[in-house]
Structure 1
């Protein structure tokens, strides 16, 4: 006993006077019996992030198991379970969560979903998740109903994601609205899928001009619309992949654009690398109900015409196997970027060949083909002819182009077209603005259509990527406006390209130029607007896409036409066989189990590359190359003596339709899509047609789209610039808005104005103005007021009627979707 003493600081040590053989301690009194008083989970969680009882030991809670992820024998599982407060014990505070994660580690008490359990443990925060490390678990009863809480997203502005989701942390929820797969890039890597409540989300600069203020605000809204569906595992490259149920395979894909309604799971805060909250699916109830809203197609849509041209980034088609040493490129000192083995190479061409054959394009511009003299193109053409038949395809022999490991190339069908003259190359030696150490040199080749004798020139491009490789400086640095790195280099290349084509580099004597390729710029970025400003028409609408990055769609691949060429275009389509597919379905073998190397792969077109091909239809000779509207050869010397008998007049008409979703009443948060129809009812082509539309401040302008030309958004004003509108042609322009608030005067007033010039030099102006009764008279109950006749607006809206004010040739209508 002499060696037993206290250790306080108030006095000298007090030694024990007697010796004892043993003694007991009652530090932990146990968790008590089922039904005894316990700490409410809402008290443990508290208000806000962090947990109000973080660091508190021996806390006792009681609740229902709503997510069981124990599986102690599988170390990559979560090794725990989620408990949710029983409905009768939930508090009335919407700011506190009723769920918590119980971490067991190597525990031995098995629980099941629906069990009521009593848990004693220590409260802590782990990667922002409030959890308890259990000391004891008692199963009180089983088979109890689990009642999910209904949640609707997006996160409302200005509330942030933490404030919105924290009150649901650890709880079983059902997201009531329809969600769309925005991205599946990490499906195979981490088992996760990014979902959006706003449908497909465009890249900011696909629909908006670059902006240092607009871009971060747009990304904030994108994040508000998202939630990540996880797979309750912590390992990489899991096997099996449980999404879509029962597991991902080459035949059971989960494409971007797939939708699901009423998804149920547990809210999990482990924000990780992507900064999004997650939904963990219940193991006893896999996520089902996926709707294939963006199905695969076996061939591109029909683009019409007598001739087709395609653009296809073939994702590093290298005949030199990447076995390790840097032996590729013209200098034999660059990385070989393609297949790592002959097996991978076979898997690669067994996907690429069916894709090209199915497109059946007469001319195909290729990007990312190995930059050797002829081996890569010769190999691809040989394999194509092995499927399509001998002599079906040939290639333009350019030798190596530039100094990079990859180059652009052209293959064609000799039965349809014949090369005219030699190819031409745009590089730094032609124009120093075109930096060929960053951009791949452009390739131009003139072709003659065999059936008509008409000629046209295809120009294939691959501009500098958006990543920060190398040493970007000045205008090539990321400006934070959405255009990313090297925008100045790409813009200068576009300027050089337009100037080069003005010199007719192949000596064709024909103004019909078709610019195709991977320009590494979205539709509203300056490389594209520079070309449209030089008179080239962007043939792909801003609603189109060939690439998905960070869950947002956009056109990295483009088709632009000179004015004479644009008049001969019959259609354009993107064949979505690649970028919507999970990357795990590509030809690569790495990061896949032995079984997945088989189940993830099929020798078909899907995920042959990471970019989607573009196909353009042409009807050569359908527009007079001399630019007038007659069929003569201008033997009159160009003085117009034979043409003036009939004066060509540009006579535009403009109308508007506002479209609400099914059952929509124009309430805040509802989407309102404006359809602006612009027609040319005259006999002459209209040029430089500008449509300006200023939206009310009660509407948020989300995006705008035009099938031709450019569009810019400046605050509430949307401006469309159309290079030309042919006689009899009608263009549909789209403006997507969201109702922010009810208008003070109870109506949305909207004006669209058109200005254009005809061949006679006369500028024509038309406008369309409309008034729609709005929502300001709607009472809080959501029912109309009986004592005010103006409140009957909702009835008229439900019937699709509206008040019209028509100016000039314009009209304004309202319609509703029937779905």
Structure 2
């Protein structure tokens, strides 16, 4: 399931969760008149949480009139000398705030609350707010406090402190050290008016009118303008999410590598979908980098080209068939075999028991031919209804496209949703007992998740066994800005079981035929440096071929401004020893008008 689909589901319940997610961290009491920096304190949670405060003064720096978190930000124009204490705070009014405008001097009374976006179970940090407020405007038209510049120099190289073992790894109670840790710096500016200048876009504009920039132009930069996420220990500290307090129609359509030229200014917020976010009342002008979609080279006559492509919940009602076909024909140069992920059944998300996907596949095959490509054939195994996860009713599965003019498929019937394919030996060579067939479909490793699809192909007289995968998503993992450091990655548990199952199946093939050509590929939903990949590779049974690329070119997906690997093609030793080429073809992930959130991958080799 794409992470943005999970986000859409979360948005539908955001309003309902807002009240339940307010966490009172101390027993209610009463506090005398205080300043904003007293409310914020020098840790992530307010020392006055749960208390009534009166007479909190500040200048209104922004008013939010939309969404489930309506209210306004105020900032004290006379800061204290402590860089750890923020001088800004959000005043949550619930409904659209009335009688208050940017530049007003106000006096606010209310209850200090720590709101956890997404709820306490998300692991997110909390946002200090004043809730159930009453306020008085004492003057209008005041100059706003000068914005604090967030720059490459001001943001520390270290991302976050280690969590307190006595608090289950939470950093909430640790004193903020804004000169040592990036997350501490951002927290010390929570609610304040901040500014970035000439910031490069590292995450394209999404359907929720958000984008990501970096204030560190050289931090893990790739040649297309993104920031590569290449290690759990090398997080990109310069990333910030940008939203706008203006009209959605005025938000720029930006691609990775573009620049928000000039100044982007506004309050620094913290939200469920990315953590620290500059909510801009002034947006820099979009300066295009003219990023182009990549095109790979065509395979030579003696090369077998195998691709993996997540087509993001494709079903017959979609209007993206022509675009996907053009990508396959023009950008991927019509690979001989294409492993497709997220093929939905014939009526998509309609939940009526339909599981067949022949209409979906035929529509794509027709579109490819219309785009000037070959007339592909296809193979797949229909899932059992509602057993493979993904969009409810969609019954997503993997499917093979193959060009019968270049490669043949070895059909061995009997495969269905719950019958496992095995490994046998035919004329001294490894072969599948069922082709197409599913790998270990009844294992708990694949509960509510896509089952691997194995197929046996022949190219120029040589057998190639291909295993198409779509591992469990990262849904449920704590975000990089979590209050728990390092964040928990609970979704790995299932992917590790899945990786072991696919590795063990590959090992059976190689035990039967040491020099067998095996390719395991797909949306692995994990990084090339992850434990998931290590388990897949095992002791040399497979190797992730994306690691043949320079580190700066290893990515297939962009999430929260991090260019990262989710899609992989793993190869057996016989392929690795020979001549092969690998290409991550960047046509989607870096663009605001993407037809999928994944970039396809292509492997070429001589079997």
TM class by shorter chain equals 0.5 to 0.7
Q: Give the whole-Å Cα distance in 2 for the aligned partners of 1:396 and 1:107.
A: 57
* Counterpart selection for 1:94 from 83, 93, 100: 83
Q: Which residue of 2 aligns with 1:150?
A: 149
Q: Which residue of 2 aligns with 1:361?
A: 334
* Counterpart selection for 1:462 from 452, 464, 469: 469
Tell me by how many angstroms 1:281 deviates: 0.9
Q: Give the whole-Å Cα distance in 2 for the aligned partners of 1:549 and 1:581.
A: 12
Q: Which residue of 2 aligns with 1:571?
A: 581
Q: Which of structures 1 and 2 has the bigger CA Rg?
A: 1
Q: What is the number of residues matched between the two proteins?
A: 470
Q: Which residue of 2 aligns with 1:600?
A: none
Q: Give the whole-Å Cα distance in 2 for the aligned partners of 1:480 and 1:549.
A: 16
Is the 1:170–1:267 Cα contact (8 Å) retained in structure 2? yes
Alpha carbons of structure 1 residues 193 and 362: separation in structure 2 relative to 1, 3 Å: closer
Alpha carbons of structure 1 residues 558 and 170: separation in structure 2 relative to 1, 3 Å: closer
Is the 1:357–1:388 Cα contact (8 Å) retained in structure 2? yes
Tell me by how many angstroms 1:527 deviates: 5.3
Q: Which residue of 2 aligns with 1:540?
A: 546
Tell me by how many angstroms 1:347 deviates: 0.8
Q: Give the whole-Å Cα distance in 1 for the aligned partners of 2:207 and 2:380.
A: 39
Q: Give the whole-Å Cα distance in 2 for the aligned partners of 1:351 and 1:107.
A: 44
Is the 1:41–1:100 Cα contact (8 Å) retained in structure 2? yes
Alpha carbons of structure 1 residues 257 and 485: separation in structure 2 relative to 1, 3 Å: farther
Q: Which residue of 1 aligns with 2:243?
A: 230
Is the 1:101–1:170 Cα contact (8 Å) retained in structure 2? yes
Can you list the C-alpha shifts for 1:268-311, whole angstroms capped at 9, x where unaligned?
A: 45x443572332212xx224356649x341x4233764443322
CA RMSD of aligned residues (A): 4.6
Can you list the C-alpha shifts for 1:598-635, whole angstroms capped at 9, x where unaligned?
A: xxxxxxxx32x3332112234x48xxxxxxxxxxxxxx
2:192 paired with 1:171: yes
Greater Cα offset, 402-411 or 572-581: 402-411
Tell me by how many angstroms 1:40 deviates: 6.5
Q: Give the whole-Å Cα distance in 1 for the aligned partners of 2:328 and 2:493.
A: 31
Is the 2:203–2:590 Cα contact (8 Å) retained in structure 1? no
Alpha carbons of structure 1 residues 261 and 494: separation in structure 2 relative to 1, 3 Å: farther
Tell me by how many angstroms 1:406 deviates: 4.5
Can you list the C-alpha shifts for 1:740-777, whole angstroms capped at 9, x where unaligned?
A: xxxxxxxxxxxxxxxxxxxxxxxxxxxxxxxxxxxxxx
Is the 1:522–1:528 Cα contact (8 Å) retained in structure 2? no
Alpha carbons of structure 1 residues 430 and 266: separation in structure 2 relative to 1, 3 Å: same
Alpha carbons of structure 1 residues 510 and 44: separation in structure 2 relative to 1, 3 Å: closer
Q: Give the whole-Å Cα distance in 1 for the aligned partners of 2:470 and 2:64.
A: 50
Alpha carbons of structure 1 residues 361 and 309: separation in structure 2 relative to 1, 3 Å: farther
SS of 1:347 mapped into structure 2: coil
Alignment of 1:292-441 (within 5 A): 292=289, 295-297=291-293, 299-302=294-297, 305-306=300-301, 307=303, 308-319=305-316, 345-358=317-330, 359-363=332-336, 364-369=338-343, 370=345, 372=356, 374-388=358-372, 392-396=374-378, 405-415=395-405, 417-419=406-408, 421-422=410-411, 428-430=420-422, 434-437=439-442, 438=446, 440-441=451-452
Q: Give the whole-Å Cα distance in 2 for the aligned partners of 1:489 and 1:368.
A: 17
SS of 1:301 mapped into structure 2: coil
Q: Give the whole-Å Cα distance in 1 for the aligned partners of 2:523 and 2:183.
A: 38
Q: Give the whole-Å Cα distance in 2 for the aligned partners of 1:223 and 1:170.
A: 22
Q: Which residue of 1 aligns with 2:207?
A: 188
SS of 1:56 mapped into structure 2: strand
Tell me by how many angstroms 1:231 deviates: 3.1
Alpha carbons of structure 1 residues 530 and 617: separation in structure 2 relative to 1, 3 Å: closer
Q: Give the whole-Å Cα distance in 1 for the aligned partners of 2:491 and 2:324.
A: 32
Q: Give the whole-Å Cα distance in 1 for the aligned partners of 2:468 and 2:310.
A: 10
Alpha carbons of structure 1 residues 532 and 546: separation in structure 2 relative to 1, 3 Å: farther
Alignment of 1:399-798 (within 5 A): 405-415=395-405, 417-419=406-408, 421-422=410-411, 428-430=420-422, 434-437=439-442, 438=446, 440-448=451-459, 453=460, 455=462, 457=464, 459-466=466-473, 483-500=492-509, 503=512, 511-524=516-529, 525-526=531-532, 529-531=535-537, 533-541=539-547, 543=551, 544-548=554-558, 552-581=562-591, 606-607=594-595, 609-618=596-605, 620=606
Q: Which residue of 1 aligns with 2:28?
A: none
Structure 2: unaligned runs, 5 residues or longer: 1-32, 116-126, 162-176, 221-225, 346-354, 389-394, 424-432, 477-486
SS of 1:354 mapped into structure 2: helix
Q: Which residue of 2 aligns with 1:55?
A: 52
Q: Give the whole-Å Cα distance in 2 for the aligned partners of 1:170 and 1:531.
A: 46
Alpha carbons of structure 1 residues 421 and 165: separation in structure 2 relative to 1, 3 Å: closer
Normalised by the length of structure 1, the TM-score is 0.48
Is the 2:196–2:264 Cα contact (8 Å) retained in structure 1? yes
Q: Give the whole-Å Cα distance in 1 for the aligned partners of 2:567 and 2:196.
A: 35
Is the 2:439–2:451 Cα contact (8 Å) retained in structure 1? no
Is the 1:317–1:368 Cα contact (8 Å) retained in structure 2? yes
Normalised by the length of structure 2, the TM-score is 0.63
Q: Give the whole-Å Cα distance in 1 for the aligned partners of 2:183 and 2:515.
A: 60
Alpha carbons of structure 1 residues 222 and 315: separation in structure 2 relative to 1, 3 Å: same
Structure 1: unaligned runs, 5 residues or longer: 1-37, 209-214, 234-239, 320-344, 470-477, 586-605, 622-819
Tell me by how many angstroms 1:496 deviates: 1.0
Alpha carbons of structure 1 residues 486 and 614: separation in structure 2 relative to 1, 3 Å: closer
Tell me by how many angstroms 1:539 deviates: 1.8
Is the 2:341–2:470 Cα contact (8 Å) retained in structure 1? no
Alpha carbons of structure 1 residues 554 and 503: separation in structure 2 relative to 1, 3 Å: farther
